[in-house]
Structure 1
Amino acid sequence: MEEIPGQRSEPHEGGVAERLNWLRAAVLGANDGIVSTAATVVGVAGVTNTLAPILVAGTAAVVGGSVSMALGEYVSVSSQRDSQEALIEKERRELREDPEGELLELAGLYEQKGLSPATARLVADELTDHDALAAHLAVELNIDELEVVNPWHAAFASAGAFAAGAVLPLLAILLMPAEIRIPVTFIAVLAALAITGAASAHVGGSSRRRAVARLVIGGALAMAFTYLVGTLLGTTGIA
């Protein structure tokens, strides 16, 4: 794309929605992998110091969670994609059946944005001559035909990120001596959550402090609760 003089370097090219969708799935997957796996292994460690059951439970949490995240993202994004494609096809059909009516509609939409009737009609005419479908999708539906989301990308990103995030608490609790494995796992997990919280805030353009605080507090509560439950089950002889 040719750069316009004086224009700031911004992501105006196609594919922005696709990349943001991929990043969102990856960040959420990593967060879930860290928290759910940490909660599982810490809960089991509250019952026993034996590594075998901790390894089995942690591995099951990683595999099951990765598959679940991939399936959830695929279904969710597929529904979004189906809706986008249906809207695009509807607009394409309307342009084919009533081009003049669609031209008037486009001009009317630009008038609503503050253009004079003459200018709105001129803009509508020129955009229609260039790419009528893209013009209507952008103004009416805020959709770019080139940016329809891909469910497979989201699914693989989410599953891979979940597994990557889950490795940290699993290794922390398996590699540390029994007397320090719980506090070390807590520290490692909370540090990782702080990093992913900052990353998610960067992707979404929101407050890093709030994002980090939500994840760290939520992760700490999840691990504390499951460890307490595991300890109670172990001391009562139920497990």
Structure 2
Amino acid sequence: MRAAVLGANDGIVSTAGIVVGVAGATQSREVLLTAGLAGLLAGSMSMAAGEYVSVSTQRDSQKAALAVERRELREQPEEELAELAGLLRGRGLSEEVAREAAEQLTRRDALRAHASEELGIDPDALTNPWHAAGASFLAFTVGALLPLLAIVLPPQSWRLAVTVASVLAALSVTGWGSARLGAAPVGRALLRNMGGGAIAMAVTYAAGALLGAAGVG
């Protein structure tokens, strides 16, 4: 959920910045649609590729750590048992209870016990880079569609106002969602999210207007 909210938020802000900036230079619906679609595709592919690389690296690190743990369990089982008991004592168990629990966990599934207590990894639930990439692509695309549709569907005189209002409304939703997921103050998250989006649109619109006035493109 956190990745979906952040991906949608990125899609909203980046695409809004593109289409509002282009709108500062031209009111051509075809140009706005082309720029918006290009930004949507580039952004969604970039998000997916970045997430795939990041999660693949994380997965490789997890698999490497599990391989080390397997070797240590095979070569020095007593030391690993003592280490697991020590970890359990650190969670508040007495020495006798920690030792007994460590022995039981080791008999049941030594690798899972050490992976969970020592590494914080579930060997059967490693992160999937393809799932992460697909989720990021979809979230960014959904977020990017809002400013794109808002800039090309209304009449020319309403485009900018509808886009700005729609983007700020959407950012209030993603800001609220991110605050709730992170147990952070909602008001601060809304102000930060909407303020950042408003600044991005203002800066790109001003740049587009200056380029349009200068006759660039």
> CA offsets, 1:66-122, max 9 Å, x none?
111100100011111111111111111111111111111111222233322212111
Of 32, 35, 38, the residue aligned with 2:16 is: 38
2:138 pairs with 1:146: no
Task: Deviation per CA, 1:174-233: give whole Å up to 9, x if none.
Answer: 111111211110000010111112222333333333322221111111001000100111
Q: Which deviations, in whole Å up to 9, do the C-alpha atoms of 1:3-43 show, x marking residues without a partner?
A: xxxxxxxxxxxxxxxxxxxx233222211111111110110
Which of the residues 79, 82, 106 maps onto 1:128? 106
**Where does residue 151 of structure 2 map in the other structure?**
173
- Check if 1:26 corresponds to 2:43: no
Query: Counterpart of 1:180 in 2: which secondary structure?
Result: helix
Question: How far apart in 2 are the matches of 1:86 and 1:181?
Answer: 52
Q: Distance in 1 between matches of 2:91 and 2:142?
A: 46
Provide the secondary structure at the position in 1 that maps to 2:124: helix
Alignment RMSD (CA, Å): 1.4
SS at match of 2:93: coil
**In 2, are the aligned partners of 1:25 and 1:155 still within 8 Å (CA)?**
no
Corresponding residue number in structure 2 for 1:217: 195
Structure-2 separation of matches of 1:57 and 1:229: 15
Mind listing any 5+ residue stretches in structure 1 that lack a counterpart? 1-22
* Structure with greater proportional helix content: 2
User: Contact (CA 8 Å) 1:25, 1:73: kept in 2 or not?
Assistant: no
Q: Secondary structure at the match of 1:119?
A: helix
**Equivalent residue for 1:116?**
94
Unaligned runs of 5+ in 2: none
State the partner residue of 2:33.
55
Q: Identify the match of residue 134 of structure 2 among 156, 161, 171.
A: 156
- Secondary structure in structure 1 of the residue aligned to 2:6: helix
The question of 1:79 aligning with 2:57 is answered yes
Residue of structure 2 in register with 1:199 after alignment: 177
Task: Describe the SS at the equivalent of 1:145.
Answer: coil
1:106-154 Cα shifts (integer Å, max 9, x gaps):
1122223332221211111111112111111111111111221111111
CA distance in 1 between counterparts of 2:52 and 2:181 reads: 21
| Residue identity in the other structure for 1:110 | L
Q: Return the TM-score normalized by structure 2.
A: 0.95
Residue 97 of structure 1 aligns with which residue?
75
Deviates more, 1:62-71 or 1:139-148: 139-148
Give me the TM-score of the superposition, normalised by structure 1. Answer: 0.86
Query: Structure 1 counterpart of 2:147, which letter?
Result: P
